[in-house]
Amino acid sequence: MADMNEGLQSWQLKTNHNRMLEFQRNQSSATEGPVELAFFGSSAFRITSPSGLTIMFDPWRNLPTRRWDWYFYDFPHTAVDIGVSTHAHFDHDALHRLDASVLLDRLIGTYQFGDVTITGIADKHATDSSSATYDFKMLTKEFGGIDIEPPGNPRSWDNCLVIVETGGLRILHWGDNRHNPPEEVWDALGRIDIALLPVDESQHVMGFERTAEIIERLTPSVVVPHHYYIWDVVARSSTLLPAEPWVNRQPHSRFIEGAYTSYMPQTLPSKTPTVDYFGDHVAFDKKAWHKSKGV
């Protein structure tokens, strides 16, 4: 007999999509106003459109095998309108932790609703671990028997670059994509205003030189680091390190005093690229999360 708790648990939720019905009745594809960006730790961000639609990227969980934990507990249960996962790694794919009306798992193509357009572009996960503290490519092959190099990589080493267009802005979640996608991928990305890029001092996903190459190619107004160590969210066993030393080395950076910030096209910084850093701030109650042990 199958485990009743296996897979998505949406059928057990007491909520419904009445909120989306209301958006559906009042759809507008060109709503003006601020776009909020909220940081939930690791690579998880919530984008709120001018109309109020919420999109959560890359909620995280611990490795299902429990060989080692990256987080004190799994992602806090969170209600949003749309959930998105860039790729099938445990630190990006916990869509089951969301109370969402729509789930877009590894989106390839375009989804449009209300004042939001979400586009996924298929590519590959980073595999160059030459700058990382640990050679994850070698470890994966030695202990897992898996060759992660494309094109023969398993599914979890694919990645989808995802762009959210809303409020006149184009926001790119890089996920853990490789630094050197083919030219047709760069062409598909087009103009990017805000780039969410994986950065930490261990250079776990990619080296700093590769990050600089991506920023130079994208020319975004704002770069927001993610995928870094937060002392009371991310366990030391993750081997991740903070991103603050890298942020401090950038010519233009701002430390966000909280877990939320807002953007509009006319208020984007004139000194580009500007790095906006959330630091240890996350958009959930960490004390309550610890007290409840993530329940």
81 occurs within a structural domain:
yes
56 occurs within a structural domain:
yes
Closest to 56 measured CA to CA, from 104, 11, 7, 24: 104
The answer to whether the CB of 162 falls within 8 A of the CB of 107 is yes
Q: Give the pLDDT score at 279.
A: 97
CA neighbours closer than 13 Å in the CB half-sphere of residue 179: 22
9 occurs within a structural domain:
no
Q: DSSP for 171-229?
A: EEE-TTB-S---HHHHHHH---SEEEEE--TT-SSS-HHHHHHHHHHH--SEEEEES--
116 occurs within a structural domain:
yes
17 occurs within a structural domain:
no
CATH of the domain at 151: 3.60.15.10
13 occurs within a structural domain:
no
Q: List, run by run, the mean pLDDT of 10-residue segments along the chain (295 residues).
A: 66 92 82 94 98 97 87 96 97 96 98 96 93 79 83 94 97 97 97 98 94 97 98 94 97 97 96 96 97 89
Q: Please give the model's pTM, rounded to 2 decimal places.
A: 0.94
Contacts of 137 (CB under 8 A, 6+ apart): 127, 128, 129, 148, 149
Domain count, the chain: 1
19 occurs within a structural domain:
no
Q: Give the pLDDT score at 36.
A: 98
Q: Which residue range(s) make up the domain with 248?
A: 29-291
